Amino acid sequence: MSKHPNLNIPVRAALLLIVVRLAFHFADINWPEFQMVYLFIAVGGLIPLCIYAIWPRPIVPPFIKEVATAMRIMAVYAIIMIVFIIVFYAFIDKAYFVEKQTEILQGALETADPSEYGKLKQQVEDFFSLRNFSVLLLIGFVISAGFYALFFTILKQLFLKNKQ
């Protein structure tokens, strides 16, 4: 008898997205908004994992246990994805943040005083950095995972209650 949910599933999902991202990078398929689309897909991957974790089974666990189970499955996936994304930008695509900082700075200079260039450049570099991006990524995954775990577990409870 297999144990549900299986922790191999979030690992496989993360590895699939990692392989896809690396393939796109090394094939030089990086259209301008690809980074945001990839992050959207990576965070969106939490939804099917959450549904898988709480999928109906013969023994219905208590609400809190079910939320915890969903969070465990999504945490495995999120940790792998966060580590990969940080490593990817720190060692593989090092130019991404420099390019984005330059893009943001050019846009800001169109409306700012040119004499403020040094100060503005420092603010952009401080704000749009791998460190800040990593923190936002972690917060985004945690909030999304918590929301999905609660939302889908409540939805399942309501659905099962109405079905009985």
CA distance 112 to 120: 9
Range of the structural domain that residue 87 is part of:
8-163
The answer to whether the CB of 52 falls within 8 A of the CB of 9 is: yes
Q: Give just the sign of the alpha carbon dihedral 30, 110, 131, 39.
A: negative
Identity at 22, one-letter amino acid code: L
- Calpha distance 38→23 (Å, rounded): 13
C-alpha Rg value of the chain to the nearest Å: 20
What is the percent of the chain with per-residue pLDDT over 90, rounded to a whole number?
A: 61
Say if 121 falls within a structural domain. yes
pLDDT digits (tens, 9 = 90+) for 74-130: 999 999 999 999 999 999 999 988 888 888 888 877 877 777 778 888 888 888 899
- Domain-embedded: residue 1: no
Q: What is the pLDDT of residue 164?
A: 63
- Tell me if 91 is assigned to some domain: yes
Total domains, the chain: 1
Q: Look at residue 2 and tell me if it is in a domain.
A: no
